[in-house]
Amino acid sequence: MRRFSELAPRLGEASYDVAIYRRAGEAILAGKVPYRDFFIEYPPGSLPVFVPPALFSSSREGYASLFASEMALFLVAALLLTACAARSLGRPWPLFPAAIFAAGAILLYPVAVTRYDAVVALTLAATIALASSPAFGRNSASGAAASFVAWASLGFGAAAKIVPALVTLPLALLSGREARTLRTVARSAARGFAVFFGVVAAFLLPALLFGGADFLKSFSYHVDRGLQLESLGSSVLLKLGYVERVFLEFGAYDVQGRGVDLLSSLSLPVTGVLLVITAAVAYREHREGRFGPEQLPRFTAAFVLAFLIGSKVLSPQYVIWLLPLVPLSAGGVWGLGVSAVFLAVCWMTTQIFPFHYLEISAGRPPGTDILLGRNFLLLVLWGLMLSLPSESQSPEPSERVVPERGSPA
């Protein structure tokens, strides 16, 4: 919050994103229906976050300050949940992941409390903390409650910013880790998905009912976006000198030039391939009996990183999603290593925006070198998440998931 108070107005109280949040919050308080009466590019799960600062403020500066305080509280809650998860996972230094979280959030100060991505970090932290608890997945009332809230938290995160939906696969694998047959694995996952989609539907169906085609435009808005300046593809083209023009579009800076259309069209299939690879490695760990609670932060981070690397949009605030994930992905020396890489990513992200953004827009070093280096480290982190040594012990043969009679092996 102290670093936020030192930001220039264009990055804080007068920023484009905060202005959108304020207009949405004030419009809802005035009785206007989102999507139908005013357009907003964000999913409906984000809207409850925009209202409280508007309710207690009457100026641009007041709204920005209250919104930043709200996001700071979300980050503190996510920090505490990260510390609880570290203890449940038996990390040798339980406070170390929390310290990395705090350091990363401070390094990301230009966007940490000026964007609503702290909501995503909180929902992911809650899911990890609940799934790491001893009760999760057990056939008991406390186990059922932990499972319900974990899936519901993930559903709210997806309703707010879609990306947490990627975490449903590793959570499903963890939910069925004690199942004796494939059928019971499927049943366990089905219950979780029912909760997840129920929460998502609670937000999306009213928005679709009242917003109609205008609500669907909020999704096509992102589909139509071009190759963003900070994306992996753009950083490569900038380094090669292929970018001819940088222009403002869809509230962000996109690039034009040689190879841009090709990379933009390849974004979706490349992201799909990266996600499939991640899912294959996660399933292999599950099949070999190594997918325990210790693996969930690792593969959650891997799925999020796969999306970041392949996406044609890579805004600086997206790194906030990784705050409760990477520090919990490994313990010991491996944990030190991945945390060091992650903190380097956080520092370089702030160097990219706002300090070297004009240089990057003009295609000049060192800004372009920092951007390419940060994106390369994201690729390294993804590789590390897939190759970290497994901490869970393989179950005894009698405890392995086995196919039922008549089902394929």
DSSP 329: S
73 contact partners, CB below 8 Å, separation of at least 6: none
- Mean pLDDT, to the nearest integer, of 385-399? 62
Decide if 405 is inside a domain: no
Tell me what pLDDT residue 321 has.
98
Decide if 139 is inside a domain: yes
Asked if the peptide bond before residue 354 counts as cis, ω within 30 degrees of 0, the response is yes
Average pLDDT over the chain, rounded to an integer: 91
Neighbouring CB atoms inside 10 A of 37's CB total 14
Cα gap 68→103, rounded to integer Å = 18
Grade residue 177 by pLDDT with cuts at 50, 70 and 90: low
Decide if 385 is inside a domain: yes
Tell me what pLDDT residue 392 has.
45
Decide if 214 is inside a domain: yes
Decide if 409 is inside a domain: no
What secondary structure does DSSP assign to 12-78, as a single string?
TTT-HHHHHHHHHHHHHHTTPPBTTTB--SS-GGGHHHHHHHHHT-SSHHHHHHHHHHHHHHHHHHH
Decide if 288 is inside a domain: yes
Give the residue, 44 or 390, on which the prediction is more confident.
Answer: 44
Mean pLDDT lowest among 99-108, 324-333, 365-374, 384-393: 384-393
What secondary structure does DSSP assign to 237-267, as a single string?
HHHHT-EEEEEEETTEEEEEETTHHHHHHHH
Tell me what pLDDT residue 179 has.
54
Tell me what pLDDT residue 263 has.
95
- Tell the residue number behind the tokens 């994201």, with chain if given: 378
- Which sign, positive or negative, has the C-alpha torsion 328, 334, 336, 338? negative
Residue 31 exposed, middle or buried by CB count within 10 Å (0-12, 13-18, 19+): exposed
pLDDT tens digit sequence for 11-54 = 998 999 999 999 999 999 999 999 999 999 999 999 999 999 99
Domain containing residue 46? 2-391
Mean pLDDT lowest among 210-219, 226-235, 328-337, 393-402: 393-402
Decide if 400 is inside a domain: no
On the question of pLDDT at 406 being above 80, the answer is no
Half-sphere exposure of 294 (CA within 13 A, CB side): 18
List residues bridging with 255 in a β-sheet.
246
Decide if 349 is inside a domain: yes
Percent of the chain with pLDDT over 90: 78
Question: How many domains does the chain divide into?
Answer: 1
351 contact partners, CB below 8 Å, separation of at least 6: 370, 374
* Helical packing angle, 168-175 and 182-211, nearest 10°: 150
Give how far the C-alpha of residue 226 lies from the chain's centroid of Cα atoms, to the nearest Å: 21
Tell me what pLDDT residue 403 has.
41
Residue 115 phi, psi dihedral angles, 5° rounding: -130, 155
List residues bridging with 245 in a β-sheet.
256
- Mean pLDDT, to the nearest integer, of 286-303? 93
Tell me what pLDDT residue 391 has.
66
Percent of the chain with pLDDT over 70: 93
pLDDT tens digit sequence for 304-342 = 999 999 999 999 999 999 999 999 999 999 999 999 999
Between CA 69 and CA 5, with CA 19 as vertex, the angle to 5 degrees is 40
